[in-house]
Chains A and B, each alone.
Chain A
Amino acid sequence: MNPSSLLCLLAAWTLSPLLLGIINRTKAVFAGRRGSPLLQPYHDLLKLFRKDLVISRTTTWVFVAGPLAGCAILGMSTFLIPFGGSPSILRFSGDMILFAYLLGLARFMTVLAALDTGSSFEGMGASREVQFSALAEPTLFLALAGLTLSTGELSLSGLFSANSTLHRGGMAVPLALIAVALFILFLAENARIPVDDPNTHLELTMIHEVMVLDHSGPLLGLIQYGAALKLWVLGAILWNTLWPFSTGHNGADAGIALVGMMGLAVGVGVVESVMARLRLLRVPALLTGAGALALISLIFIARL
């Protein structure tokens, strides 16, 4: 096992809530506020983990299992993600398929936990979540197919390693298209504007927040930590696509990647500040549009 891979894993576990802090601070700056401290998400998590739980009488063990399994599954997915030139700890041909399906499993558990409350709000959120994710899944695979087609590599670590051919000449246009598709997925999967708004607390307009409406205390903490991990892993894939270069020095690469991740967080904050959320009926068009971009890049690559 590579020590730098281990360090990157630790970085994912410890630094992912920081991304949320950066997003919030960016939004505050745009709104002309001072905003909460960068480390506020950590304080929130600690506070939640110290709280008591209130659990609805309607629910069964599924309600508790949802956040527990969800956080464990997303924790598992961090083992598959290469970061800053270091390969991931688990890597094999087709690990991107396992990665995509781990995200699917985590979502399945969240949806079931939401349905377990028997509330129509949560049912509504769950219904929207499965709709959008069913449309997002093909887009993710199209983007992955584009990356594989251009390099011939079958694992995420191989795709984004220093000797991958991802940064050869002529790849700029298709890579940019894939990156745009991945950025849209990144926003959609992490429940961000323009698909979902993490800030409003009006149940009728939300997706992710409304599904976890009844969770409280440590379970809510696990959900939020899981969300931070998901932001990290998808962000890492996006950053690897945007920056397929290597300086040849492990530390420098990791540093660049860390700065890149923070840059992504700032980018999310900017998008959230300058855009409004789309109408729910328009979201499928956005997601299939992202799929179309990935498909166009595939055609580009096949022509090159």
Chain B
Amino acid sequence: MRGGAGPTLVLVVAVGVLVATGVTLLLERSLTRILLGVILLGNGVNLLILLGGRSGAAPLVGLAPAGQTSDALPQAMVLTAVVITFGLTAFVLAVAYRSWYLSGDDEVQDDLEDRQIVRLAERNEVPTADLGGEGPDNDPEQVDPGPALRRLRRGDRR
């Protein structure tokens, strides 16, 4: 079906489309779409590996002359990669389900830091520069270290 010059254009285009759609879906927030993106991207990359080897007859000794068999190594690698992608897909699916179970949807939320910064920006405030900020006045150590220490040791600070 294919000439010796290289892979057909159809397969190359297929790799491009699979990777492009996969990456687009990865940019979504919903884990289900990310999952579909991972599947498409994985298949695209696997197809790419397959294109890297020489095409030809089945790589079994005796079926074809030695020079005309296909390269078996990319096929072996793709088998491994397919299994790995499958495992990762299953894990993402489990995470998506768990996320839906816990919070009712499978959207990945903003991280903690981002949310804090957004909150500060809304109120137009600056973050507390140094958290150590207690002057000598309210530092009990500099006034009377004894009682605080004893209270703490007994563990009845209430």
Q: Do A and B come from one complex?
A: no
Interface residues of A (CB under 8 A from B): none
